[in-house]
């Protein structure tokens, strides 16, 4: 069924989509596990996403705060969003998301890496980028679900403190800030 499984100890026998929306799909795989037992593995297939750590010349970071429906609370996070079909590569999605959520464009882009989110549940990945050389360009273009998205510019040191205090529960945001900190970018 899937050549990528050869030699890994897992043998997919059948796979069935149980639910599909414009945002994700839920699949149930009938599998033989590495120990030889048979069982089902339910998982979510989701498009990849991007997160942008945008730092201006004053060493302030573009940070958003909005209600996150699935967590039932407002959260701090960096500008982020999914990679759409129109995006030719992850950095194109990062440019688009930064402009949509902040109205800012960046001259310089560096990849920070990719993080797997909720491995046992989903294939979802988040590509993180570091953006500098910022200029205000256009009005924000928020989607209907982002109508409450607030934009803040916080000092880099404060953002690092907030990440370390657990105030940025978004995996891509935490990953981006910590990688940038370790690399000496912030």
75-119 residue pLDDT tens: 999 999 999 989 999 999 999 999 999 999 999 999 999 999 888
What is the dihedral angle through the alpha carbons of 63, 68, 74, 77, rounded to the nearest 10 degrees? -20
Residue 69: DSSP 8-state: G
pLDDT bin (cut points 50, 70, 90) of residue 1 is: very low
Q: In the structure, what pLDDT confidence band is assigned to residue 69 with cuts at 50, 70 and 90?
A: confident
- Distance of alpha carbon 79 from alpha carbon 58, whole angstroms: 18
CA atoms within 13 A of residue 88's CA, in its CB half-sphere: 2
Q: What are 1-8's contacts with CB under 8 Å, separation 24+?
A: 8/34
Residues 6+ apart with CB under 8 A from 1: 11, 12, 13, 14, 15
Flag whether pLDDT at 186 surpasses 60.
yes
Inter-residue contact 135 to 167 (CB < 8 Å):
no
pTM, two decimal places? 0.88
91 HSE (CA, 13 A, CB side): 11
- In DSSP terms, 131 is beta-bridged to 54, 109
Q: How confident is the model at residue 10 (pLDDT cuts 50, 70, 90)?
A: confident
Structure-model confidence comparison of residues 137 and 168, the more confident one: 168
Alpha carbon distance 125, 131 (integer Å) = 19
CB atoms within 10 A of CB 105: 16
Could you tell me the pLDDT band of residue 4, with boundaries at 50, 70 and 90? low
Question: Per residue in 168-186, is it b (16+ CB within 10 Å) or e — as a string?
Answer: bebbbbbbbbbbbbeeebb
């Amino acid at each position: 069924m899937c050549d990528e499984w050869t030699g890994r100890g897992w043998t997919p026998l059948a796979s069935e989509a149980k639910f599909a929306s414009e945002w994700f799909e839920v699949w149930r795989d009938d599998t033989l596990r590495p120990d030889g037992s048979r069982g089902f593995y339910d998982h979510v297939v989701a498009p990849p996403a991007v997160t942008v750590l945008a730092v201006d010349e004053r060493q302030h970071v573009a940070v958003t705060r909005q209600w996150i429906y699935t967590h039932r609370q407002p959260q701090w996070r960096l500008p982020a969003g999914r990679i759409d079909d129109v995006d030719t590569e992850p950095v194109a999605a990062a440019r688009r998301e930064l402009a949509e959520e902040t109205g800012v464009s960046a001259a310089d882009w560096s990849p920070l890496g990719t993080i797997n989110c909720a491995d046992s549940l989903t294939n979802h990945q988040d590509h993180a980028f570091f953006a500098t050389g910022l200029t205000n360009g256009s009005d924000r273009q928020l989607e209907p679900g982002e109508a409450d998205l607030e934009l803040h510019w916080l000092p880099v040191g404060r953002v690092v403190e907030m990440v370390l205090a657990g105030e940025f529960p978004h995996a891509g945001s935490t990953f981006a800030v910590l990688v940038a900190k370790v690399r000496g970018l912030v």
